Homo-oligomer: A and B are copies of this chain.
Amino acid sequence: MVAMTTPSAVDVSIVDLHGCLRDPYMDSMRFLSEVATRYPSAVSFASGRPSEALFDDDLVERNLRRFREYLSGSAGLDAAAIRRTLLQYGPTKGIINRLVAKNLLVDEGIEASPESIVMTAGCQEAMFLTLRALCMDKSDLLLAVLPTYVGITGAARLIDVPVLPVRSGSRAVDLDDLVAQIRHARASGLRPRACYVIPDFANPSGMRIDVEDRRRLLQIAEQEDFLLLEDNPYGLFHGDAERWPTLKALDQSRRVVYLGSYAKTVIPGARVGFVVADQTVSTVDGGGITLLADQISKIKSMVTVNTSSIDQAVVGGALLEFNGSLATAVARQRAIYQENMSLVQRGLAARFGPGAGAPAGVSWNSPLGSFFTVVTVPFAADDAALAVSAEQFGVLWTPMRHFYTGHGGDHELRLSCSELTAEQIEDGLDRFAAFVARFAAGTSER
């Protein structure tokens, strides 16, 4: 009989777990999604969640019903097949790929075959699966324009893929720096596999890559032999600005892997995203050709088997509502976000502009779309400052440090206005101005 050891206070040491768990930024996603819950009475500029005011209570049931009608109507399924489609395990690649392909054509001018699409458990899974497929080991790199979405750096960190920062500069991406980084990496024996970009109203910067630079990006990807991972969660929230073609719509030589999200346009709770990966891939035996989507789906089968058919049905129902056009469906959201952005911009000007008597050194950018504004402040806008802001001033924002892989963003913070009413924005900016005044004073005294 073996003696049972008394359980020690700590069963597992953190140093024995995967290295990503010692990286503070692995907690960023949870932090961003849960910080508002910790301070329920604070006004939250922290989260980039879609506005809850736009959710109908019966959104799920209504879209399920519409998708059922589609299955029994134009899809021609009998009752048993409908039951199987909605309740049973499903195909790894998904069950609404045709509807998504139509949506891409209608809203983005992207011609994607249903076979080139893999439906995923949110866009986050699409990022993770794509990175896993593309990167063999630590010598394979991802490039990312900084500041960048914390979800992509986190996904890379999970599989020990280094992220090489590219400067954004004044044009949303510094193309000379991109080429220089790639060549430098190659000279060091490393393989740059892909560059992650959000060309339309990037999170967190709100910046947009212009059409000329989009074309140049595609040329550079071709010339330097890497892929572009285009993430586009905000393209439909373009305010009054003209819409520009996505990289994927301009892509003539399959250089772009397109990452899609329905969290902001349909419903976040359902967790439905997708990846378009139409690149051809040789098979193991060398005799045939598959799509990168097929390779990605093999990886998906070992991460989540298949995307929930119920969630896909809810999104499928929403896609059916306006005949494939979410641009039409989100018109009201777009107007609200635009109005909120202009309230934030005017509110910042009133509180920190010339003659407002505010501390010097506060500035901000003015994006034309999405719902993020980056504010520069004359003190370290870190998690400690945020805690004070939350507890003493009742206002939440996001430290920009979360969006940098190395140094950067120390004096910057992100204000998101997606979840707020006009009254909350005014009240929140008052609180924010009080916080900045106190902190700027405190900092100058040190």
Contacts and interface: CB of A to CB of B under 8 A. Distances in A.
Contact of A21 (B5, B91, B295): B295
A198 interface: no
B17 A134 contact: yes
B282 A13 contact: yes
B24 A284 contact: yes
Interface string A141-154: 00000000001001
Contacts of A14: 281-284, 295
Contacts of A295: 14, 17, 21
Contact of A271 (B52, B253, B308): B308
B280 A2 contact: no
Contact of A270 (B12, B222, B308): B308
A20 B158 contact: no
A418 B167 CA distance: 56
A5 B222 contact: yes
A88 B57 CA distance: 12
A27 B124 contact: no
Interface in A1-32: 1-2, 4-7, 9-14, 16-22, 24, 26-27, 29-30
Interface residues of A, number: 103
Nearest to A153: B302
A80 B301 CA distance: 36
Interface in A259-297: 263, 267-271, 279-284, 289, 292, 295, 297
Q: How many copies does the complex hold?
A: 2
Interface in A214-268: 219-220, 222-223, 252-254, 263, 267-268
A133 interface: yes
A121 B253 CA distance: 34
A136 interface: yes
Contacts of A90: 33, 269
A306 B18 contact: no
Contact of A124 (B132, B298, B303): B303
A60 interface: yes
Contacts of A17: 133-134, 136, 281, 295
